Amino acid sequence: MTEARHHYRESGLSNVYLINGFSYVETPYGRSVIIEDVDGLHRAIGQFLTRAKKSLSGGEFRFLRHELDLSQARLAGLFGVDAQSVARWEKGRAKIPGAVERMIRAVYQEHIGAARTVTEILSDLAELDDKIDQEFSFEDTDDGWRPAEAA
């Protein structure tokens, strides 16, 4: 059975959909999904989030932290706050400070080896938009995962 899109909740994000690059299989435990190149997909999602001119949701902030392989405590130490602050941001109980949001984007870009300077990243993010509940679709191409073109 082929479906048009897969709601990729496995990422921890509620607004990510896959156009292709996945298949469903039946297992003794029920239906399961197989996703091609999960690492590449997560990199594409991370790049999209760090370049999007929108404020990060708590879940998106958590996604980037996980991709950086940092605990809440370690990230808190990097930003000079306590781990409870990070937990509140990720749960949506407190607004993520603008400087922290911009810095996690820059740290992620550095982590993946993007050839962008901090100044370029911050310039791109100068005017953030608060469209937090927007859906994001990704497709697997011959060149790897990328955001899908808007229909």
Per-residue pLDDT of the chain (151 residues; tens, 9 = 90+): 456 899 999 999 999 999 999 999 999 999 999 999 999 999 999 999 998 888 999 999 999 999 999 999 999 998 899 999 999 999 999 999 988 998 999 889 888 887 667 677 666 666 665 555 577 888 888 888 988 876 4
Which residues are 17's β-sheet partners? 7, 137
Residue extents of the structural domains in the chain? 6-146
pTM of the model: 0.80
Task: Please state which CATH number belongs to domain 6-146.
Answer: 1.10.260.40
Task: Output the pLDDT for position 1.
Answer: 44
Task: Output the pLDDT for position 125.
Answer: 63
CA-wise closest residue to 20 among 137, 135, 136, 139: 139
The DSSP element (H or E) to which 118 belongs, if any, is helix 118-124
Task: Output the pLDDT for position 127.
Answer: 61
120 is written with which tokens? 């370029």
Rounded distance, CA 16 to CA 14, Å? 6
Coil, helix or strand for 144? Answer: strand
Task: Output the pLDDT for position 3.
Answer: 64
CA 125 to chain centre: 16
Nearest 5°: CA angle at 126, between 145 and 133?
55
Task: Output the pLDDT for position 135.
Answer: 78
CA-wise closest residue to 139 among 30, 36, 34, 70: 36
Yes or no: say if 59 and 90 are a contact pair by the CB < 8 Å rule: yes
